[in-house]
Amino acid sequence: MSSAAADSLIAFNPRPRIERVDLISGQACLVIDDALLEPERLVAFAAAQQARFRAGVFNAYYPGILLPTSSGATAALQAFFSEHVRRRFHARRVLHMHSRLAITTQSAAELRPYQWICHSDNVDLPAEHSMQASVLYLFNDSDLGGTGFYEPRRPRGEIRQLYHDAGELSPADFSARYGIEPGYQCASNEYFRRVGGVDAKWNRLIFYDGSMPHSAEIPTTAKLDADPRRGRLTLNGFFTSRRPLA
């Protein structure tokens, strides 16, 4: 399918109803239901392009397969963010943005320790920049999981060491040291407290601050499937923005 044809699949609701889910002081998740006018067309496109999904595109840590979106689809998502969302996060101007279609496929046994714990998206950003992220759920089965949000329960140094060890230790050694078992994080543990979450729903779009620790909440991986028509298909966006002047 041509890039122009792919771009025509992305048409956002011009009059979205935006709900705010408060998490902790100063942090919230925005929820927009019925986000796309024809979301089934995007699923059909993903199914037609199934052979082009690859692991490690954009993000080697993602527990599944990815397909970069076309420039037109990315521009449509950025335009929606700029018109309806940006000011709600006090983002002054979008400096960089990328998006991709994603299908979560890895079982608990296949996950590496850094995928057992929540994560943030804005690592190493300069202080004058912020990152916002979005997830559009393109599946009907809520058992495939929504998104949970967390805050650290330990000092910053301990959290840094946790993440370092998650990338260096074997699964058995990491589990023995930290008492964290394989699987997607769905609840509080000794290192992070769950502060809220959003259930998955067909054609639901969420936006949140990328600095907020978060995780896909998938309590059982039995239904994960690489087929976009049956699996946990999402459209994910990442927006690097300039913070407002002090």
Which of 56, 150, 166 is CA-nearest to residue 116? 166
The reply to whether 150 falls in a domain is: yes
Contact indicator for 207, 89 with CB cutoff of 8 Å: yes
pLDDT per residue as tens digits for the range 182-212? 999 999 999 999 999 999 999 999 999 999 9
CATH of the domain at 107: 2.60.120.620
What's the rounded Cα separation, in Å, for the pair 59 and 123?
13
Residue 195 lies in a domain: yes
Read off the pLDDT band of 127 (50, 70, 90).
Answer: confident
pLDDT digits (tens, 9 = 90+) for 155-173: 999 999 999 999 999 999 9
* The two three-digit tokens of residue 219, written as one number: 């309590």
Closest by CA to 35, choosing from 202, 233, 174, is: 202
Whose CA is closest to 119, among 153, 156, 158, 163? 163
- Other CB atoms within a 10 A radius of the CB of residue 46 amount to 23
When divided into structural domains, the chain yields a total of 1
Q: What's the whole-number mean pLDDT along residues 125-143?
A: 93
Per-residue pLDDT at 26: 87
Does 13 map to a domain?
Answer: no
Separation CA 236–CA 238 (nearest Å)? 7
Q: Residue 11 is encoded by which pair of tokens?
A: 């048409």
**Residue 17 within a domain:** no
**Distance spanning both ends of the chain, measured CA to CA:** 46
15 within some domain = no
Does any domain span residue 62? Answer: yes
Domain that holds residue 194: 3-7+22-242
14 inside domain? no
Identify the weakest region by mean pLDDT among 1-10, 62-71, 85-94, 96-105: 1-10
